[in-house]
Structure 1
């Protein structure tokens, strides 16, 4: 499988393409990273260096890939944080070109906009652009709970409400939805769930909520889920593999005491995910 991944890049740490590339490669797939920024580190540190890549330059890189005759060989396009509608337009144009060259290709969008407790952390107008233009063009989306609520224009708390919200979003275009960071339970005993919904049904995996929120976790999740889903695995199987992989990565990161994801140290859990947490069918 070959994935065209249009995302940010950092030299230090793991977010965007820096988080997505290694897990996909460790799973045995090709991934071609197209950079939208080239920063020293992610912005969570409060300061960083390096350039934003102009939308025209992002487009030029994709054009160069097309010059190699490679578009028909691409199985999926992956995107994450889109800080400017102009970059989003480049992503959508690339998706259209890839699908024209290979009608079996899919577009997986991680609609990065915000999170519970933080609210929106993107520029004004970006959430509406993601909801109204980008998500309807996607085949697969991987929002967190906060982002799902925005996309569905409602607030949810129960699993039933989450599923209803997913159905609302699926009606706009994407057929496969993976919702991350669905938190419930009493304080101190909270659990976190991933919920996957497709035409085949709906499933969930519940894991303990670890006291850690590293940057880049969503980027890894989207890349790993896409890789498993496009490897002809069912959404149920892809969900189980992804949830167990991510818990193993977060657990090792927590134990290390480091701020950045322990991707390299977790490579065996990426290649051969543990089976600690079972998938249960919701409908």
Structure 2
């Protein structure tokens, strides 16, 4: 499969395309990475050095990829953090052009906006832009619970409320909604959950909660889910994504590393050790 991934890039650590490209490649997919920024490090560390890529330059790179005649062969477009509406418009334009060339292509959007404990960490206006303009045009969206709460405009305290919110979001356009970092009153103590909702069914997976805060985890989750979805569908994608994320993060925590050990623990991407039970959501 061939994936056009339009995201940020960092030299140190794993975020945006620096988190997404390697797992996609390790799982056998060709990736065309287009960079929207090139920073020294994830901004979660504090100040980062390096430039924002001018929107016109991002568009030119995409135009150059199109010039190579590959748009009819692209199976998916992947996006993550969108720092400005102008970049979002370029991404949506690229999605439209890829789909015009290949109507079977899909758009997977990780609606990066914020998280529990940090709140919103994007520029004012971006959450509303994601909600109103981007989400309706996506085929797959991968919000965390905090982002899902914003997208539907209410807090989600129980699993049933998460289920209803995800189905509401599906009603706005996306075929598949993956909710990450689910913690509700129904979540077993000491665990964290991930849920997937699709036309084929809805499922929940529970994994141990590790006492760590990892940068770029959502970017890897979206990439790994998309990689497996393209070849095996939503249920298998949820199962393998949960196993991979737990495997990589467990090894990262055991090593005391502040950055995901994506490369040294790449077997957890290709052949994760753990298999977690998938429960159907009625």
TM-score range normalised by the length of the shorter chain = over 0.9
Q: CA offsets per residue over residues 173-221 of structure 1, 9 Å max, x none?
A: 0010110000146999331000000011110100111011111000000
- Tell me what 1:261 maps to: 260
Deviation of 1:265 (Å): 1.6
- Tell me what 1:13 maps to: 13
Deviation of 1:258 (Å): 1.4
Q: Which runs of 4+ in 1 moved over 6 A?
A: none
Contact 2:79 2:109 in 1 (8 A): yes
Whole-angstrom CA distance in 1 between matches of 2:185 and 2:266: 31
Contact 1:196 1:236 in 2 (8 A): yes
Deviation of 1:278 (Å): 1.1
Whole-angstrom CA distance in 1 between matches of 2:179 and 2:189: 21
Q: TM-score, normalised by structure 1?
A: 0.97
Deviation of 1:47 (Å): 1.6
Q: How do 1:100-115 and structure 2 match up within 5 A? A: 100-115=100-115
Contact 2:9 2:35 in 1 (8 A): yes
Contact 1:99 1:105 in 2 (8 A): yes
Q: Which is further off, 192-201 or 180-189?
A: 180-189
Q: TM-score, normalised by structure 2?
A: 0.98
Contact 1:183 1:190 in 2 (8 A): no
Q: Which is further off, 150-159 or 171-180?
A: 150-159
Whole-angstrom CA distance in 2 between matches of 1:277 and 1:185: 21
Q: CA offsets per residue over residues 256-277 of structure 1, 9 Å max, x none?
A: 1111111012211101123431
Q: How do 1:157-168 and structure 2 match up within 5 A? A: 157-168=157-168
- Tell me what 2:154 maps to: 154
Whole-angstrom CA distance in 2 between matches of 1:171 and 1:281: 20
Q: Secondary structure at the match of 1:189?
A: coil
- Tell me what 1:59 maps to: 59
Q: How do 1:1-150 and structure 2 match up within 5 A? A: 1-150=1-150
Contact 1:40 1:48 in 2 (8 A): yes
Q: Secondary structure at the match of 1:40?
A: strand
**Structure 2: gaps of 5 or more residues:** none
Q: 1:187 to 1:72 in 2, by over 3 A?
A: closer
Number of matched residues? 282
Q: How do 1:176-255 and structure 2 match up within 5 A? A: 176-184=176-184, 189-231=189-231, 233-255=232-254
Deviation of 1:40 (Å): 0.7
Aligned Cα root-mean-square deviation (Å)? 1.4
